[in-house]
Amino acid sequence: MKAYLKALSVQLLPSVHSIPYILLALIPVIFIYLVFRSKKWASSLVGMLVVLQAMTPITYYPIGGVKGLQPVYLWWALTFLAVIFSRLQSGKALRFGKFFRPPLLFLFFIQALAWARTFTAGPEHLFYVEGFTKSTLFLGYFLNPIQILLTGWMVMVVTEEEQGMVVIKKALMISAIIFGALVTTIYLKTGAQAGGSEQLFTGRFAINDIMGEENNGIAALCVFLFVACVRMKNHGSRLLNIVSIAAILSGILFTLSRMAWINTALITVLLLPKMKWSVRFAVVILFIGLYLHSHTVIVNRLSYGTEMRYASTSEQLNNITADRVTIWQAAWSKIEESPLFGYGIQTGVVMPGGLIADHPHNAYLRILLDMGVIGLMAVIIAYAFMIKISLRKSGILFFSIISLFVMGFVCLEFHPHKQNCLIWIFYGMTLSEVASRARRFVPESKPANGVPCLRIK
């Protein structure tokens, strides 16, 4: 009976190849809901943009195969014009300077230099099986970072009002539900529930192929959404919050990313004492439930690479990390040849035997390869600045950056990228929270000693 119900549920799931189009059909439904909740078009447009941005890379899926006609770019352009018009119409300042602080501008400037160097030198040092065009380079590594940063600025602008903040929080919870459901659906639809490594990885490869992004990058987005869902307050819907946590935990599980699992466990331990009792209870029950449901998957994945019992320690480590140690050694050798400035965006790594890896599977080595020591310094300065700001508020940004640093040892990017796009959304939210706290203290009068008296609203 259990096997029959499982087979029936898999049959009822939608075709995995229709998922991008199902998401497109959901856009007007989600947007109408956000408009109903906020009563403001600008906040609703930005909220929908957050959903699309969080759905990376599904929302970068070309409509009808037309390159450059991605939903996220089209919606972003519309939203940006709407926010600019709304600010000008209300007589409020655009406040670009509040978001684009010098540390962020320095990081983006170094990235732009690396991009320009790659673009002018030609993409011969890059590796893609189907080829690498300059239009792809422009869209993915120049326009995309600008779009991500301006999305963060728009979030900052609309969350200056409490109602706008609630809309963005609801958008993040909706994103967690959809994203977790997508990953789970793809995994279950391919029938990879348990068994040997061949069956185990069937669903993982399907997620990678259909969503157009490697699984560790997808897992990182799931982790960022998990942090947001467990840390956000005053969101106005406890049920939506718990459902979003359940969905995104399922998504994290079925990406089969061991580093994401470790990072989620670490973040949960750190945040558990700070959660509301209802959220804390829900998280514990969900962890237990997911383990009982998929313990075979978890055990098989955690034991992957440990079959070489008689190999040397270095060979075992390389096998456990899926040949990452070999890639890291080759990447480091290349970095030593040009440590200061790097080689340009998306530099490939030549491995022993002549194979070329298009990513070193390490965010720290990625920065050193692309932008050198100067780029790494820019990253350190930018994230140190954001951590300093995040310590003054809810902690979503802080714990997301910690997650980025942890997962950066095996994947991801540090510069503005679709894999870390949520970091910049959280940054915009945090700036608004800090400003809101500062506005509570209003100068009322100046006594003789020159020290202003403060009135708390």
Q: What is the pLDDT of residues 437-446, one digit of tens each?
A: 666 555 544 5
Cα dist from 318 to 20, 145, 257, whole Å: 36, 33, 16
pLDDT reported for residue 85: 87
pLDDT greater than 60 at residue 197: no
How confident is the model over 377-411, as pLDDT tens digits?
A: 999 999 999 998 888 666 889 999 999 999 998 88
How many CB atoms are located within 10 Å of the residue 296 CB? 12
pLDDT reported for residue 422: 92
How confident is the model over 160-194, as pLDDT tens digits?
A: 888 888 889 989 999 999 888 888 888 877 754 44
How confident is the model over 260-271, as pLDDT tens digits?
A: 888 999 998 888
The pLDDT of 68-78, averaged and rounded, is 72
Record the pTM: 0.85
pLDDT reported for residue 129: 39
List the end-to-end C-alpha distance of the chain, in Å, as a whole number: 62
pLDDT greater than 90 at residue 427: yes
**Percent over 90 (pLDDT), the chain:** 12
Cα 179 off chain centre by: 11
What's the CA gap between 45 and 370, in Å, rounded?
34
Cis status of the peptide bond prior to 273, with omega within 30 of 0: no
Over the chain, what is the mean pLDDT? 76
pLDDT greater than 90 at residue 68: no
What's the burial of 387, exposed, middle or buried (CB within 10 Å: 0-12/13-18/19+)? middle
Provide the pLDDT confidence category of residue 226 given band limits of 50, 70 and 90: very high
pLDDT reported for residue 65: 43
pLDDT reported for residue 10: 47
In the structure encoding, which two tokens stand for residue 309, read together? 């019992």
pLDDT reported for residue 133: 56
What is the DSSP annotation of 90-158? HT----HHHHS-HHHHHHHHHHHHHHHHHHHH-GGG---TT---HHHHHIIIIIHHHHHHHHHHHHHHH
pLDDT greater than 90 at residue 423: yes
pLDDT reported for residue 288: 84
pLDDT greater than 90 at residue 71: no
What is the DSSP annotation of 193-238? -SSSHHHHHHHHHHHHHHHTS-HHHHHHHHHHHHHHHHH----S-H
- Where in the chain are the domains? 1-94+159-304, 101-145+311-457
pLDDT reported for residue 9: 47
Question: Which residue would you say has higher pLDDT here, 86 or 72?
Answer: 86
What's the CA gap between 245 and 179, in Å, rounded?
11
How confident is the model over 149-163, as pLDDT tens digits?
A: 999 999 999 988 888
The pLDDT of 199-219, averaged and rounded, is 75
pLDDT reported for residue 254: 86
How confident is the model over 106-129, as pLDDT tens digits?
A: 888 888 777 777 766 654 555 443
Cα 103 off chain centre by: 21
pLDDT greater than 90 at residue 419: no
How confident is the model over 141-152, as pLDDT tens digits?
A: 777 888 889 999
